[in-house]
Structure 1
Amino acid sequence: MSSPSLVYSEFQPNGQAPISCTDKPLTCQIRSNDINVTQFAAPRRLKTYEIPQIVNNSRLAARNAIEAGFDGVETHGAHGYIVDQFMKDQVNDRIDQYGGSLENRCWCALEIVEAVANEIRAEKVHIRLSPFA
């Protein structure tokens, strides 16, 4: 069982809040009794001007992976990772170009995949999507 004094922001770089498309705290039901969701730090909503840096970080990570000898890369757009969060209407409550309609909620994923494909060639790029998004 998790320690009551443990707050999961302690695992974030420099103790910062985790980033997300929203600032809503985690409220979902966890199937295990081992985790108390109230211990998770509320995320920090990415500012619109910060999203291109996330895209660029993905591009650089893909280039580094290829230079390290990997055959390709996969963007993880499932299981609650940030790309998945942007696409989910239950999570993404943004009112800018990255929120609202399904098309807008997919922009983050599309920008990442396009940047990575331009960096390492499209045939080396995959994206994992959640069947529930």
Structure 2
Amino acid sequence: MTPFDETRLRAVMEQYPLLTHFGFGEYGQPFIATKQGRNDLLKATDEINRARAWLKTQQQRVSINPKHSSYGLKHVAERAAGGYISNGSLIAAALMEGWKVQRIDLDSPNARLNISERHLKRSCNGRPWVAG
């Protein structure tokens, strides 16, 4: 895996001005990105690297997978990586690694990715529910 690139993270955050450590927006405030939430994401290099490493074990598909949210996937990534990963860190990692990311709804902090269902199930030992 390539070393962490803060410049790339900043470029992603510039492209997605509502992206915070929480996800898109802040808790209960989906249209606001506070300076604190943005700074927390910038400081979350270990979380982002864990998420990047996990994403490298997955396969991308052409279209967005509607079955799983970034919030569900972050829990799968946490179990695999052995450490906490915020929703925003998973989303940022996906964007940094060139994945397709689509916010679920304008009032949701979560996103969907173009993650392969078949590969995800295999990596979850056939239990797709773990990626909710």
Structure 1 length-normalised TM: 0.28
- Kindly indicate which of the two structures has a greater share of residues assigned to helix: 2
